[in-house]
């Protein structure tokens, strides 16, 4: 199994990079913001998952071992394949998945990421008995973030902008009021 690749970027697209690893080009499917996280690097190291099917061998790449672990947990859920899992990770940061699973709140996951309610239910139920790395969130913070998103939407901001603002807040902002103020500042900058 190919678990890690390091090479030179020779091509890239919205959801993939091609890495030259000692003369062999590997096409690695990634999230749409993957290269943004690597900030213009020409050399790249990725943690990978090799998906073997009858008609294809696809490699999926991740910035960290934690992202890879969540990807593997997602594809273990019935009805979620590698492309769906990558799409979920593309819109649902790991912290959001952790909160939804810890509180068993698919509504929170759906509101914070924009994925459908059925998929959110699959994820929260499918990962219910799984030990998730870094599971330190509480039901209070999960419901607080949902309240912040709903407040921003009621103030006239788009659902997408509201979710993105809350997603980028640091943990130093605690409490719904403090998080709402910080989110308003973030949205105001754009």
20 φ, ψ (degrees, to nearest 5): -90, 110
Gap between the Cα atoms of 19 and 26, Å rounded: 5
> pLDDT value at position 140?
44
**pLDDT tens digits, one per residue of 82-119:** 988 888 888 777 877 887 787 777 887 777 667 788 88
Q: Do 41 and 9 meet the contact criterion of CB atoms below 8 Å apart?
A: yes
**Which DSSP state fits 190?**
-
In whole angstroms, give the CA distance from residue 164 to residue 149: 9
Q: Please, are residues 128 and 104 in contact by the beta-carbon 8 Å criterion?
A: yes
pLDDT score for 141: 53
Residue 49's nearest CA partner among 20, 21, 22, 76 is 76
Options 1.10.150.20, 3.40.50.300, 1.20.120.450, 3.30.70.260; CATH of 66-126 = 1.10.150.20
Residue ranges of domains in the chain? 4-63, 66-126, 139-189
* pLDDT, tens digit, 9 for 90 and up, residues 123-145: 888 887 775 555 444 444 555 67
Architecture of the domain made up of 139-189: Orthogonal Bundle (1.10)
In terms of Cβ atoms closer than 10 Å to its own Cβ (0-12, 13-18, 19+), residue 14 is exposed
The predicted model gives 154-175 an average pLDDT of 77
DSSP of 57-74: EEEEEESSHHHHHHHHHH
Give the 3-state secondary structure of residue 92: coil
The pLDDT tens digits of the residues spanning 172-186 come to: 777 777 888 888 888
Q: What is the pLDDT of residue 178?
A: 80
- pTM exceeds 0.75: no
State mean pLDDT over 149-176: 77
Rg (Cα) of the chain, in Å, rounded?
Answer: 18
Nearest residue to 167 (alpha-carbon basis) of 97, 107, 104? 97
Question: Is the CA virtual torsion 9, 73, 91, 145 positive or negative?
Answer: negative
Segment 67-75 shows an average pLDDT of 89
Checking phi first, is residue 40 left (phi over 0); if not, alpha (psi -120 to 50) or beta? left
Domain boundaries 4-63, CATH class:
mainly beta
Asked whether the beta carbons of 55 and 68 are under 8 A apart, the reply is no
Per-residue pLDDT tens digits for 27-62: 999 987 777 766 666 888 999 999 998 999 999 999
């Amino acid at each position: 199994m190919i678990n890690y690749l390091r090479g030179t970027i020779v091509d890239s697209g919205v959801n993939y990079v091609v890495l030259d690893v000692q003369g062999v080009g590997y096409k690695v499917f990634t999230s749409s913001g993957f290269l943004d996280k690597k900030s213009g690097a020409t050399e790249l190291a990725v943690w990978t998952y090799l998906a073997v099917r009858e008609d294809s061998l696809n490699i999926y790449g991740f910035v960290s071992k934690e992202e890879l672990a969540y990807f593997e947990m997602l594809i273990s859920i019935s009805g979620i394949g590698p492309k769906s899992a990558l799409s979920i990770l593309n819109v649902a940061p790991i912290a959001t998945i952790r909160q939804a699973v810890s509180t068993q709140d698919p509504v929170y996951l759906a509101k914070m990421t924009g994925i459908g309610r059925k998929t959110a239910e699959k994820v929260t139920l499918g990962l219910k008995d799984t030990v998730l790395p870094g599971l330190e969130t509480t039901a209070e913070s999960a419901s607080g973030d949902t309240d912040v998103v709903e407040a921003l939407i009621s103030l006239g901001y788009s659902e997408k902008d509201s979710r993105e603002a809350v997603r980028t807040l640091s943990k130093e902002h605690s409490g719904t009021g403090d998080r709402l103020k910080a989110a308003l500042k973030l949205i105001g900058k754009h």
